Amino acid sequence: MTLSSPIFRKLLASSFLLIALTLVIVGFQMARVTSESQRESAQQRLMAEVSILSEELGNVPVSQLAAWAQQAGQGAQARATVIDPSGVVRGDSQHDPETMENHANRPEIQEAIRSGTGSSIRHSATLDRDLCYVAWRINYAGQQNWVLRLAVPLEDLDAATAKVRWRIFQASLLTALVALFLAYFFSRSFTRRIGQLRAAAEGLVDARVGATLPVGDDELGALGRALRQTSSQLQELMTNLKVESERREAILASMVEGVLAVDADLRVTFSNQAFVEAVGALAPIRDRVRLIEVVRDPALTDLLKEVLRSGQTLKQRLQLTAAEGRVFEIQAAPLTAPAGPGAIAILHDITDLDRLERVRKDFVANVSHELRTPLTAIRGYAETLLEGALDDKENNRRFVEIIQAHSIRLNNIASDLLVLSELESGKHVADPAPVSIREALESALRTVESEARVRDVTLRTGRLDDVRVLGDKTRLEQALVNLLDNAVKFNRARGEVRVECGSPSPGEAFIAITDTGVGIPSDDLSRIFERFYRVDKARSREVGGTGLGLSIVKHVVERMKGTVFVESQLGKGSTFTLRFPALGGRD
């Protein structure tokens, strides 16, 4: 990771450039100082030499100045030149004086005449090379402004300076290598700590993040401690969020109401299991899937579109085709989320309530109709009697008998309604007690025996086992009377009604009532136990039925933990079978 790290390469390159630049500047300055020091040292040596030689020059004859200059130059290891006050060269250790130019205008000569000493570094036209000059004003042969000049080539100074520079370069190179070595380890350590901080930042929610954080008293250590504290806070926050999310998921999952959330483009962002089951979708619903792919119901789509457009909460009752025709009361409201606006819909399944509402309306309508018919007849015949029919010897009695018959019918309807209301309300009239189904069936047969004779219907008994069940004897007899009464009334002349009871297996009891009557159409079999439902309304009114008998039978049987079944063929008759849990063996 170290060599491939960009920050490591940048740190190392920056360190290299900084070290190189520093060493170059330092080396240049040291070389310049060394060069200047070499020149100053050369000038000082020449000054010392020219001072000594100036004393010797005073004892040299003019004719021997050229020879003396040769000897002085060799002794001083420099070029020696003697110039008279007019600038004429009288002797030179490296050149013939007679061929040399006048030196009066040389800067070091002029400076020496003016101040006593002079120096300069310049190119010598005579020797065609750069020299370092030092001039000394002297008195010679009683004359002033004679000048003794010494000079050394700059190549000698440059050679000495080059040696110093080479040593400076060697020292700088060694220093650079040591500095780069230290910079490498510093950059690697720094990069490693940065990498640890990055790894810690990428895994702040990891409980083990504290083990990878760098330590120390510098800024990186402080940053590591801050990240450790942030990690602890984030872990606590994530734990709280997870708990809250699980609580929300549990609440939404346990809701019986379907919950649906969509975004502004009608794409599903959330749905619970109740919604999936309500619309019959394949679980789970994919996130961000289009709603039209889940529920192909324009009514729901239009409702959500209107909520998104208006920004208001709307409530509507819909029958969703995707939910097998179930009825829902849908409350939709706008939803504001970080990802953008959307809408949420809560589906309350009111199918049972809607059915109960329809049943209630049908019940009221049926009760009103059932009561209106006898009441109308009673009122009509009463008004007829009051208007003078009381004196009609031929019809007044018949009118009163009709009024009595309709009064009995009204009483039967009221009685059956009270019984049905008691059974549906779940009121406990009497504690369940052992009941003999044979005795209850025999009592019911005696009750309908006279009606059967009148209608020329034969009552036959088959197997009658004495099996006991737990229940209410009075209600069981009432249910059996209703079944037998229907079997007799809706039978044909010289027809039969056959009954039997027993225990086909341990712990089970049954009662079967079979007739040879008109039968029940297959389309009506599923509804015959509804209140006021009649297969043949005209004949039902003719025989005086209330339409509540089979509904009472169903409630009585279910209250005794039993079930009732019906089998019928149109024109051939019907069989009603009641099954109950038996209490024990036969008596």
SS3 label, residue 373: helix
Residue 233 pLDDT exceeds 80: no
Average pLDDT of the residues in 54-70: 80
Exposure b/e, 151-164, CB count within 10 A at least 16 = b: bbbbeebeebbeeb
Q: CA dist 535 to 519, 530, 539, 541, Å?
A: 10, 11, 9, 11
Average pLDDT of the residues in 476-505: 89
DSSP at 281? P
- C-alpha angle with apex 209: 205 to 211, nearest 5 degrees? 165
| Residue range 40-53, pLDDT digits in tens | 777 777 778 777 78
Q: Which of 190-199, 242-251, 276-285, 406-415 has the highest mean pLDDT?
A: 242-251
Residue 206's nearest CA partner among 240, 248, 167, 234 is 234
| Residue range 122-134, pLDDT digits in tens | 777 666 677 788 8
Give the per-residue pLDDT at 127.
63
Give the per-residue pLDDT at 267.
86
SS3 label, residue 147: strand
Lowest mean pLDDT of 225-239, 376-390, 569-583, name the range.
Answer: 225-239
Residue 296's nearest CA partner among 275, 282, 279, 276 is 279
Residue 262 pLDDT exceeds 80: yes
- Which CATH architecture does the domain made up of 10-161 adopt? 2-Layer Sandwich (3.30)
Q: How far apart are CA 73 and CA 94, in angstroms?
A: 8
Mean pLDDT score of the chain: 78
Give the per-residue pLDDT at 50.
78
The domain 257-345 having CATH identifier 3.40.50.300: the answer here is no
Q: Return the domain boundaries, the chain.
A: 10-161, 209-247, 257-345, 354-421, 429-581
Q: Residue 120 region, left (φ>0) first, then alpha (ψ -120 to 50), else beta?
A: beta
Give the per-residue pLDDT at 540.
47
pLDDT band at 576 (very low <50, low <70, confident <90, very high): very high
Give me the DSSP letters along 47-113: HHHHHHHHHHHTTS-GGGHHHHHHHHHHHHTSEEEEE-TTS-EEEESSS-GGGSPP-TT-HHHHHHH
pLDDT band at 208 (very low <50, low <70, confident <90, very high): low
Give the per-residue pLDDT at 157.
62
Q: How far apart are CA 229 and CA 232, in angstroms?
A: 5
User: For 429-581, CATH number?
Assistant: 3.30.565.10
For residue 33, the number of C-alpha atoms closer than 13 Å in the C-beta half-sphere is 7
Place of tokens 């440059």: 158
Report cis status (omega within 30 of 0) of the bond before 284. Answer: yes
Q: CA dist 49 to 4, 26, 43, 536, Å?
A: 65, 34, 10, 156
pLDDT band at 380 (very low <50, low <70, confident <90, very high): confident
Q: Fold match between 10-161 and 257-345?
A: yes
Tokens at 293, concatenated: 């792919």
- Which CATH architecture does the domain made up of 354-421 adopt? Orthogonal Bundle (1.10)
If one compares 207 and 388, the residue with the highest pLDDT of the two is 388
Exposure b/e, 481-500, CB count within 10 A at least 16 = b: bbbbbbbbbbbeeebbbbbb
Give the per-residue pLDDT at 564.
92
Adjacent-strand bridge partners of 328: 318, 349
Give the per-residue pLDDT at 538.
44
* Contact between residue 137 and residue 145 where contact means Cβ atoms under 8 Å apart: yes
| Residue range 418-433, pLDDT digits in tens | 666 666 666 655 678 8
Q: Distance from first CA to last CA of the chain, Å, rounded? A: 94
Residue 506's nearest CA partner among 465, 566, 464 is 465
Q: How far apart are CA 177 and CA 340, in angstroms?
A: 59
pLDDT band at 543 (very low <50, low <70, confident <90, very high): very low
Q: How far apart are CA 210 and CA 213, in angstroms?
A: 5
pLDDT band at 496 (very low <50, low <70, confident <90, very high): very high
